[in-house]
Amino acid sequence: YWMIFDNGFVKAADLLSKTMMREKPSFWQKNFGEQIMRSLMLTSMDKATYTKGTWKAANNRVVKDVAISALQESKGRRGRKQVCVLLEEMLIQPYAELLTNEIEKILTEWMETKGTDSVLAYVFAALTSCNLLNDSYNYRTFHTAILEKFPSLGFKPGFDWAEALYNAIVSEHDYDYNLNLSEKAIQTGKELAKLINIRLRTLISPNVY
């Protein structure tokens, strides 16, 4: 109960840093403490609905440093390296907050009427095509950032379908994707991504269109 409902994971990590990783710890002590702390962090996210933001906001500097390192190196269930980036960190400045709020509106509107994850492919395609990302990211990083930022919207952790749809939307070659997608689904996706593109660009530059 203490671990899950009374913020025990963070408290345990804080205690661990003070007992095993205080000033000038021995090599084995520091290494062992970091490994235990990494295990705490990843278990908390898998079993107790902790978020990356929770750990990155820790007051303890040692805990925060280990958290950032552990989250960057964490791997997906299939063994692929999964980069953990917050949605706001992916978007261009100084419009990150403005874009984040608009993305939330788009996703909320869609989930209230359609309730499918395909909207994530449309949004990411729009962000990519209108250069609103501050770096090159893959779909999986974006999907993970959405789950982190908007857990209440009900998007599924699995991303194969939406990832394939995104790849089909942005591909310059017909049928250059992994899953069986209908031509209608792809065309609809391209049209909706274009509409979202216009909506986002108009948000930050009202006179563009």
Q: Are residues 58 and 95 in the same domain?
A: no
Domain membership of residue 78 (yes or no) is no
In a domain, 79, yes or no: no
Q: Are residues 142 and 52 in the same domain?
A: no
Question: How many domains are contained in the chain?
Answer: 2
Peptide bond into 94 cis (omega under 30): yes
In a domain, 41, yes or no: yes
pLDDT score for 104: 96
What's the confidence (pLDDT) of residue 13?
84
| Pair (164, 187) in one structural domain | yes
User: Looking up tokens 């359609």, which residue turns up?
Assistant: 114
Domain boundary among 38, 73, 108: 73
First to last CA, the chain: 55
Residues 142 and 60 in one domain: no
Answer whether residue 104 is part of any domain: yes
Residues 92 and 180 in one domain: yes
Give the pLDDT confidence score for residue 110 in this predicted structure. 95
Residue 80's pLDDT is 45
Residue 48 lies in a domain: yes
Q: Domain span at residue 53? A: 2-73
Q: What is the pLDDT of residues 28-76, one digit of tens each?
A: 777 777 778 877 887 777 666 677 777 777 777 777 777 776 666 554 4
Give me the residues of the chain with pLDDT under 70, please. Answer: 1, 4-5, 23, 46-49, 69-84, 173-180, 206-209
* pLDDT at residue 173, rounded to an integer: 59
Decide if 141 contacts 159 (C-beta within 8 A). Answer: no
Residues 57, 97 within the same domain:
no
From 49, 73, 97, the end of a domain falls on: 73
- Whether residue 61 is found in the same domain as residue 104: no
- 121: Cβ contacts below 8 Å, ≥ 6 apart: 139, 162, 163, 165, 166, 169, 189, 193
pLDDT reported for residue 151: 87
- Whether 31 and 6 map to the same domain: the answer is yes
Let me know if residue 200 belongs to a domain.
Answer: yes
Same domain, 37 and 127: no
Give the per-residue pLDDT at 35: 78
Residue 48: predicted pLDDT: 67
Task: Let me know if residue 139 belongs to a domain.
Answer: yes
27-47 vs 8-20: helix crossing angle, rounded to 10? 180
The whole-model pTM stands at 0.61
Which residue, chain included where needed, has tokens 């609905």?
A: 49
pLDDT at site 209: 45
Same domain, 66 and 101: no
**Are 67 and 91 in the same domain?**
no
**β-strand partners of 133:** 91
Whether 125 and 170 share a structural domain: yes
Show which of 15, 43, 73 is a domain's final residue.
73
